[in-house]
Amino acid sequence: MGRINRSRSGGSSDDDHFPAMTITWLGFLSCCAVFGLVFSCPVVAQMGAASAAGQTAPAWVAQVKVSRGIVRIERGGQRFPSPVGARLKVEDTVITEANGSVGLMFADNSTLSMGPGGEVFLHTFSYDPTTYMGAFDAFVKQGTVSLQAGNLAQGAPDSVKIRTPQAEVKGNARQFLVSVEEKK
């Protein structure tokens, strides 16, 4: 990454000097490939496409990092199991049964975790990793939820929103706790 040309606008010469590095240690990774629980084909189709917004990013917005008991993802009217490694997209609903809990990590490093008997709908997630601008909007229908703010919260005030049946939460807080009792 060494040389910096004075005029970058000139073209791609910088790029040519950028290291074609050899990282042999990654050979190990093929063995420990835990990855790949991709739920939908479009993810693969969109891979590798660099967007103008300044990223090469998968279509998924979050990944299940912790999954205990029964956890499901509802997508397009269908329910899928949601083991560790599963990916989430916008408009997915995450559901935990009475014995379930789940921890998600989003593309901007924010995390959402939920205790048993919970249901959260991922209404909006947009994120530009270059500028940190975007929006997060989740609806907590029921359950106990902890949200740790990520890069989006730095990008613009009020970019992070949580809604519940009776209220709406915004702000630049570092960690939100929201609990919604089940409707009887």
Candidate residues 29, 45, 81, 91; the one interacting with another protein per rule CB under 8 A: 29
| Closest distance of CB 76 from another protein, Å | 20
| Closest distance of CB 138 from another protein, Å | 14
How many residues line the site for another protein (CB under 8 A)? Answer: 96
User: What amino acid is encoded at 68 in this protein?
Assistant: R
List of long-range contacts for 178-183, beta carbons under 8 Å, 24+ apart: 178/140, 178/144, 178/145, 178/147, 179/143, 179/144, 179/145, 180/140, 180/141, 180/142, 180/143, 181/142, 182/117, 182/142, 183/142
115 within 8 A of 143, measured Cβ to Cβ? yes
Q: Which of residues 51-110 bind another protein (CB under 8 A)?
A: 54-58, 60, 63-66, 68, 84-85, 87, 101-105, 107, 109
| Closest distance of CB 101 from another protein, Å | 4
Candidate residues 32, 41, 76, 77; the one interacting with another protein per rule CB under 8 A: 32
Nearer to another protein, 66 or 70 (CB): 66
